[in-house]
Amino acid sequence: MILNSSYKKGNYERLYSKYIFKDVDKLLILAKVTKNKSLLDLGAGTGAVSKIAWKRGVRNITAIEKHKAMLDNISLKIEKVYSSVEDFVPMKKYDIAICRQAINYMDLEKVDEVVHKALKKRGVFVFNSFVNKPLFNIKSYSFNNVRYFEFSTSFGKTVFHVQASKLGIDLTKFSYYNKEDFSIFNKRFSVRRMVEGNSVYYICRKR
């Protein structure tokens, strides 16, 4: 949810400009994305994964995002589906599915079902999350001559985050998932887990 701002004006990307392309290259490398592969971009937001994949020559891309105003920021000639990931009904099979910085907003059981249906045999699902649950964090920083403020706290498994600058204020909440929560994917996928700093990456290959 954006206050005093608008997705259509691109304020979301400016408000999160420091992070908007964070981990995209890493996820594309882990998924072994090449231009001949089909890609499902889950929780696509304003299309960071789709945009970089397109620059690398990938043309068979489907972006799924439940916020229409965010997905409308993608001007690429790709398939765009206005839907939550949980409600998405795949009409074809994909080589790769990527979910970047969005898995914590989703129901893992439903994601497991949708991705399993969407992927080809031996298809790969790659996503990232964070290792440690934010307990209480306040910080400020400057990026591109704009001052930003961040505040995060958690109650149980729910994390609340505030992102603010002169461009607007974003208030959001999501779930903290640990290793045990993500083990739900072990039932249908061969799973490899990688930890780098406070980021964790999962590479799940459909059996």
pLDDT in tens, 14-63: 788 888 888 999 999 999 999 999 999 999 999 999 999 999 999 999 99
CATH number, domain with residue 47: 3.40.50.150
What region, left, alpha or beta, does residue 115 occupy, with left being phi > 0 and alpha being psi -120 to 50 degrees?
alpha
For 81-116, the pLDDT digits (tens) are: 999 999 999 999 999 999 999 999 999 999 999 999
Q: Are residues 87 and 102 in the same domain?
A: yes
Q: Check whether residue 92 and residue 151 sit in a common domain.
A: no
Closest CA to 173 of 134, 202, 200: 134
Residue 13's closest CA among 74, 104, 99?
74
Element (H, E) at 27: helix 24-30
pLDDT tens across 119-164, in order? 999 999 999 999 998 889 999 999 989 999 999 999 999 999 999 9
pTM of the model: 0.92
Res 134: pLDDT: 82
Same domain, 120 and 143: no
Are residue 168 and residue 181 in the same domain, yes or no?
Answer: no
Domain of residue 153: give its range.
136-173
